[in-house]
Structure formats: structure tokens, C-alpha cells
Amino acid sequence: MELFQYLIMMKYWEVIVLGRTILSGKRNKNTIPVNLGRILIFCEGATEKYYLEYFADIIRKNKFNDIKVEIESANGNASRVFHFAEAFLEDENNNRKYHNYKKYLVFDCDAPPNIQKIILQMLSSNDKLELLISNYLFEVWLLMHFEDVETKMTKKEIYNRLSDHLKETYGKASQGIIREIIQNGSVEDAINNAEKLVNKYKVSGKDIKSNIGEMNPFSNMHFLIEQIMSVIS
């Protein structure tokens, strides 16, 4: 086999496998490859950006799929990332460039205190923003790569559980730690675990429009990640 062909084959294998992230039939769903299209994601912090850019780098920009990730700041909160997104899209050049992109906001629920009000403002935005929420922290979604997350935990407890799985102290996420979580954990399990929580709250009549304070733990990151996995698997 020629070297070029071999490298191509190995690159496709890396994309498909992603450690243990193959979406197998055990989800009892017919995973049909989809065209992800063009999406623009606004994140409140670096951890979310590292995570999403891991997948963006795999998909790469092409004729059919493109993921663009914007970050508000390393110390943002839900309100700040929302206003950042609004200002970004009010810019004439940005609005023209990303007019046909589907737009997402990725944020935690630890701040500000009036998070429910902020969520309602986001949902009523003229920019038609899709919300990807983690409560209490984005690390709840990361922990779902290793285990079911069914009970409310403090930030310290979440970090300690991640540290146990990573065999090193989890403090501030880096690109290396994110890569380790994705490759040594299971994206498929994270999707399943998040989906179970969403269904649990749905059965009890709770939703993000009215009850986010009661929905802890919670993450709906799987709404986007499942689409991404369908494209690359």
C-alpha cells in the first residue's frame, strides 16, 4: 500500500473511532448520517471552546459542514455570552457572513443569579438562538462521559469525580484534558446519560423555560453532539 493511501486510511480510522466514541446500535436508534450544515457557536468560557473545537477540527471546513466557535471570555457568564452574541451579530459584516448559519449559545447556570430571566431573553431573541445549557456547570456534561450523573453536586464534588476518572487533579480544563475526556471516556455514554435526564425532567413537567433552577443536574449538550457524531461516524 502506498504511503499516501495508508495515511488517508489511518486518518479516517482516527475520525471514526475517536477512542471509544463510536455511536453503536445499542442506543436502539437508527443513526443516519446527516448534513450538519453551517453552525456558529458562542461559548462563555475556554473549556466549552476546547471541547467543541475538538470536533470542529475533525469535521474541518468543507462545502457542506462548518463549525465556527466564538468565545466571550475565560470568565464569562450566561448573561455576558448572550450580550456578546447579540453584539457580534449586530455587526453588519458578521451578520452578512453568518446569516445562514444555525446559531447556538453554550453556557452554565452558575451565574448570574437571575439565570431563568436570562434564558427567557435568549429564547425570545430575534437571532433565533439555540440554547445548550449545563446545570450546574459544563463539567456536568464532561462527567457524563464516565458515569451517570443523577444527583446534585457542588463544583468541588464534580471536579473531584472528574479527577478520579482522569487519574489527575482536574482544575482548569486544557486541550489535552478535553482530548483525554473524549478519547478515554465515551461520548456515546454522555449522550445517553444527558438524554435520560432530559426525559426525566420532561416526564415531571419541567423545562428550561420555567424550571431551570429545579433541573440540577442537567445538560442538553447532546442535542448538538449527537448530530456531530452522526456526521463523523
Residue-level pLDDT, tens digit, the chain, 233 residues: 443 333 333 333 344 344 444 433 344 445 455 568 899 999 988 999 999 999 998 887 556 778 899 886 656 799 999 999 999 999 999 999 999 999 999 999 999 999 999 999 999 999 999 999 999 999 999 999 999 999 999 999 999 999 999 999 998 889 999 999 999 999 999 999 999 999 999 999 999 999 999 999 999 999 999 999 988 86
Burial class (CB in 10 A: 0-12, 13-18, 19+), 168: exposed
Using left for φ > 0, alpha for ψ between -120 and 50, and beta otherwise, residue 126 falls in alpha
